Amino acid sequence: MSFPWAKQYEPKTGFTKWMDEKLPLPRFVYNAVGAGYPVPRNLSYMWNFGVLAGFCLVLQIVTGVVLAMHYAANAGVAFDSVEHIMRDVNWGWAIRYAHANGASAFFVVLYLHIFRGFFYSSYKAPREMIWLIGVVIFLLTMATAFMGYVLPWGQMSFWGAKVITGLFGAIPLVGEPLQVWLLGGYAPDNAALNRFFSLHFLLPFVIAGVVILHIWALHIPGSSNPTGVEVKSESDTVPFHPYYTAKDGFGLGVFLLVYCAFVFFMPNALGHPDNYIPANPLSTPAHIVPEWYFYPFYAILRAFTFDFILPAKLWGVLAMFAAILVWFFLPWLDKSPVRSGHYRPLFRKFFWFGLVPCMAVLFYCGGAPAEEPYVMISQIATAYYFLHFLVFLPIISSIEKPEPLPFSITEAVLGSDDKAVLGKDAETAA
């Protein structure tokens, strides 16, 4: 779908005309990320992160396929094969650091993409399906990242695998048999390592498929925008190419500067030194934490220290999964007809002074040792986290008096729809 004023693809050469009849791939690209996709003219840099997430996925697949050419998924040699990549394989160190830091970069981008969605209520109708698919992508990415972290078969890999599969052991009745089934044994060993490698290779391609659904769903209503006002006329939009290819290209350049700073100057800053110790099933590292991008959910897991009807262990697991599953219900929890946080004074306060600091605290506590005061702080933050989504958000959306919305995107940008100049009458921009 597209707006009626979207530019039409017109093949010019003989070859492109021939292609357009047989396999209209150029037309598809033109309508997806070319001049045939009209996009709101007022998108800010917060709208860069979708393209950046797509870039990260490609980056991880390319570097990952290369690493898989040299890695051996066998508990006896896995650790050594990673060192072989670091020392012997041509450019192996660069490719492995690019992959490890690529995972972190992917999550930075995903978190910013998701919080953009929170602030601008991108999940609201008519974009619920885009949001739901997005949450699925996040869950798949978390699973992929977890299994990837197990592959180097260091101490953190091993104990991460043990702890995370232990979560399933908390499920009543079927928990323990389920955990043994997942691992193919009583503790992580060769069987677990092999299946994690197989799935770690498979899932990124599943994610790529779901990403296509995500973009497909996006192209039906078109992109949202910082005002939250829907597109009304041609002057509200500009063609994706060249306007947003250029803007996304600039964002990609900035992203790559930061990413390369990590890859080349502090490649281990986000990792754990203990993972350079080979896996030892008889000794747990003193301070066991997941990768940084799981910290908030790890803090929620550890916040439950008391039995209340159900055992504490089960509460922690349920809460951790619920912390993400609650996102699925956002389109119906937030009933306000206004989307953008810019026009929602009360919602805005709860976003900047409630949800964001709460998430920051959970991030901090997830990486801190499991002792006071961090446990209590995690408990308070966890309570706020769920209250925010399940209680505050529905109440805010029913009592809040939104600020006046602009009539249109054009009015928000130019002050009035009359100032819009289209087509031939347009002045040159530079």
Contacts with other proteins, residue ranges (CB under 8 A): 41, 62, 66, 69-70, 84, 87-92, 94-95, 235, 238-239, 242, 246, 249, 253, 413, 420-430
Q: What span, in angstroms and rounded, lies between the C-alpha atoms of 347 and 337? A: 12
User: Tokens at residue 302, please?
Assistant: 């550890």
Q: What span, in angstroms and rounded, lies between the C-alpha atoms of 425 and 221? A: 29
- Verify whether residue 223 is a known catalytic residue: yes
Q: Which is nearer to other proteins, 238 or 405 (CB)?
A: 238
Q: Which is nearer to other proteins, 247 or 344 (CB)?
A: 247
Annotated active-site residue in 236, 248, 274, 334? 248
Q: Which is nearer to other proteins, 39 or 318 (CB)?
A: 39
- Verify whether residue 411 is a known catalytic residue: no
Is residue 150 within 8 Å of residue 363, measured between CB atoms?
no
Annotated active-site residue in 247, 272, 313, 388? 247
The amino acid at 143: A
Q: What span, in angstroms and rounded, lies between the C-alpha atoms of 278 and 262? A: 24
- Closest alpha carbon to 364 in 163, 274, 373, 138: 373
DSSP 172: T
Annotated active-site residue in 7, 70, 219, 342? 219
Q: Which is nearer to other proteins, 333 or 409 (CB)?
A: 409
Q: Which is nearer to other proteins, 106 or 315 (CB)?
A: 106
Report how many helices (DSSP H) and strands (DSSP E) the chain contains, helices first: 18, 2
Residue 39 bridge partners (DSSP)? 238
Q: How far is the CB of 41 from other proteins (least distance, A)?
A: 7
User: Tokens at residue 43, please?
Assistant: 């998108």
Residue 38 phi, psi dihedral angles, 5° rounding:
-75, 130
The amino acid at 216: W
Q: How far is the CB of 27 from other proteins (least distance, A)?
A: 19
Q: What span, in angstroms and rounded, lies between the C-alpha atoms of 304 and 378? A: 9
Radius of gyration of the CA atoms of the chain, in A: 24
Q: Which is nearer to other proteins, 67 or 333 (CB)?
A: 67
Q: Which is nearer to other proteins, 14 or 423 (CB)?
A: 423
Is residue 87 within 8 Å of residue 287, measured between CB atoms?
no
Burial (0-12, 13-18, 19+ Cβ within 10 Å), 413: middle
- Verify whether residue 424 is a known catalytic residue: no
Is residue 120 within 8 Å of residue 226, measured between CB atoms?
yes
Annotated active-site residue in 236, 291, 334, 411? 291
Is residue 159 within 8 Å of residue 285, measured between CB atoms?
yes
Is residue 97 within 8 Å of residue 82, measured between CB atoms?
no
- Verify whether residue 248 is a known catalytic residue: yes
Side-chain-side CA neighbours of 269 within 13 Å: the count stands at: 14
Annotated active-site residue in 157, 223, 336, 408? 223
The residues that are catalytic are 219, 223, 247-248, 291
